[in-house]
Structure 1
Amino acid sequence: MLINGKKIAQELCTMLRTLPTPERSVAAVLVGEDPSSKTFVRQKKLVADSLGIHFFMHELPPESGTDESVAAVRELAVDEKVGGIIVQLPLPQHVDRSAVLAAIPPEKDVDCLTPRNFLAFERGGALMPPAAGALEAIVEVLDIHLSSVRAAVVGRGLLVGMPAVIFLKRRAKSVELLGRADDLKKRLLTADLIVSGTGEMNLIRVDYVRAGAVVVDFGYPHDADFEAIDKKGGSVTPTPGGTGPIVVAKLFENFYRLQGLFPPGKK
């Protein structure tokens, strides 16, 4: 079964439209000319437009360094009209990612990447990195009872791997964090739920996945051979139309939470 991420995202956005529209803007900082990053920012703008949220991009040339990137974030940090700041990752290699992310005020951190917000997430806070939120949404739609699930996470990245592990450790029967160099075929065949976010195409082959397993693929363009896994009887997110739309919807859910517009206790 192919998991319909577009439908899940549409339902999340429909729920957000029942809430008051935020008056403040969301700003994205984009350093360089990476085509994939530009595509991701455009997708976020489309969702913002559909929700009636003002969204704009602050572009910096590829040669911009850490100081210029931090300055751009700090400029948005003190702008009272801006309520959410996105630093589009990955940054160029010569830019210090930690320094740039640390310049985002926690109250404007829609990606939940600042140390304070990430620690609160680790402790069970409502604000979650969008990938973890997307994973939660998929688990709920598929009615997966995580307490009996053996999970495996492939990739140790900041955006997907680590948030997924933290989310699953609090809920799943077991969770194993794996890298590309591990014996994935041997380790993944015992998993009920596989989460991947490496960006290596077809890293998760059909013979690595048992029939009936669920594969949640955050990789771009895709980590999993989703068409073959679907034919084998697994449930898998496709590309396009899989995790991407849900991640964006969850980012904007975070924005509503940070603006105090999300009712306490509402999922």
Structure 2
Amino acid sequence: MSDSTAKILDGKALSKHLIGELKERVLACVERGVTPCLAVVLVGEDPASKVYVRSKERKAAKAGIATKDHRMSADTSTETLLGVIAELNADPAVHGILVQLPLPEGIDEQRVLAAVDPAKDVDGFHPDNLGLLMLGRPRFVACTPQGCMRLLAESGVSPEGKRALVIGRSTIVGKPVAQLLVQANATVTVAHSRTRDLEAEVRQADIVVAAVGRPEMVPGAWIKPGAVVIDVGINRLEPEQPGAKGRLVGDVHYASAAEQAAAITPVPGGVGPMTIACLLANVVEAAERV
């Protein structure tokens, strides 16, 4: 960490505040006989996925949201998984369905995501929900992009009229967050592996959203003084000593970027906790519509 004057955009603290606010909305739902419920489908034994699912279920319990856990073996077929999703779609007690990604090889991820009822797609990955976002009439916004925008709001910097650079073009983060920034009246550039001069693009940006999954690929020297940096990346570096734990870092070199930026998200403790808070907000919103 550095001695910088950059404002630390604390996702942990903000997510705690948002989950606290959700409690009142959950109580209002319960009072009219609806308990918001998230069904979590975990296929296989991916250790990171197990950690994420445990964290989501723990935070859901804090907000008063019920969870239904569906654990399935790695050799589950696409058809079997589609059958489980059909049951959850038909269950009136379930308001949100989360299929934890990545799915094991051999499962048709696109078919699975498209099978979730768009009204229960609290991840915001269904083609219908991505299309509504493009039209500026979102039903559910994908959780990580939504978390990025909330952290940006926390920085006190309005995107309006600003140059925003999104590094990464996935349908889960890059493309949706670019849409949200466009709708917030930013001038948006999307950079990726084929971008010719990434350094030049970063140097011009008032807002940088890094979501590419490459450890510390953006050095602090590239960051425009006074920019806001939202680092979505979470990468584990190999441990320096045998037997030690690897260090978690983002896509931006934190210490040097914090010397340039006006505000920056830490890794961990920035975007990650906000992703979960926004997921739970989507579940409550789904229950409120019932």
Using the size of structure 1 for normalisation, the TM-score is: 0.91
How many angstroms apart in 1 are the aligned matches of 2:81 and 2:255? Answer: 40
8 A contact 2:223–2:261 mirrored in 1: no
8 A contact 1:19–1:261 mirrored in 2: no
8 A contact 2:229–2:261 mirrored in 1: no
2:133 maps to 1:121: yes
8 A contact 1:226–1:238 mirrored in 2: yes
8 A contact 1:26–1:54 mirrored in 2: yes
* SS of match in other structure, 1:172: coil
The structure with the largest alpha-carbon Rg is: 2
2:163 maps to 1:163: no
> Which one of 100, 104, 107 corresponds to residue 92 of structure 1?
104
The corresponding residue for 1:62 is 74
How many angstroms apart in 2 are the aligned matches of 1:117 and 1:160? Answer: 14
CA shift, 1:35, in A, is 1.4
How many angstroms apart in 2 are the aligned matches of 1:131 and 1:64? Answer: 27
Deviations for 1:105-124, whole angstroms, at most 9, x for unmatched residues? 11211111112222222222
The corresponding residue for 1:238 is 266
How many residue pairs match? The answer is 262
How many angstroms apart in 2 are the aligned matches of 1:31 and 1:45? Answer: 16
2:33 maps to 1:19: no
The corresponding residue for 2:52 is 40
Percent of paired sites with the same residue: 31
Q: CA RMSD in A?
A: 1.8
The corresponding residue for 1:265 is none
8 A contact 2:220–2:259 mirrored in 1: no
2:209 maps to 1:195: yes
2:202 maps to 1:174: no
Unaligned runs of 5+ in 2: 1-5, 30-34, 236-249
User: Structure 2 matches for 1:182-221, cutoff 5 A?
Assistant: 182=195, 183-221=197-235
CA shift, 1:207, in A, is 2.2
How many angstroms apart in 1 are the aligned matches of 2:42 and 2:219? Answer: 33
The corresponding residue for 2:251 is 223
2:275 maps to 1:247: yes
CA shift, 1:261, in A, is 6.4
Letter in 2 for 1:118: L
User: Structure 2 matches for 1:126-145, cutoff 5 A?
Assistant: 126=138, 127-145=140-158
CA shift, 1:149, in A, is 0.8
Change (3 A) 1:236 1:180: farther
The corresponding residue for 2:160 is 147
CA shift, 1:92, in A, is 2.4
CA shift, 1:190, in A, is 0.7
CA shift, 1:136, in A, is 2.0
The corresponding residue for 1:260 is 288
Deviations for 1:155-194, whole angstroms, at most 9, x for unmatched residues? 1112110111111122233111111342321211111111
8 A contact 2:229–2:265 mirrored in 1: yes
CA shift, 1:234, in A, is 4.3
* SS of match in other structure, 1:19: helix
How many angstroms apart in 1 are the aligned matches of 2:185 and 2:225? Answer: 20
The corresponding residue for 2:238 is none
8 A contact 1:184–1:208 mirrored in 2: no
8 A contact 1:45–1:56 mirrored in 2: no
Deviations for 1:218-267, whole angstroms, at most 9, x for unmatched residues? 122321112221133442111111001111111111111111269xxxxx
8 A contact 2:39–2:88 mirrored in 1: yes
The corresponding residue for 1:10 is 16
8 A contact 1:209–1:229 mirrored in 2: yes
Deviations for 1:118-169, whole angstroms, at most 9, x for unmatched residues? 2222222353111221122112212212122101111111211011111112
Letter in 2 for 1:86: L
How many angstroms apart in 2 are the aligned matches of 1:224 and 1:65? Answer: 38
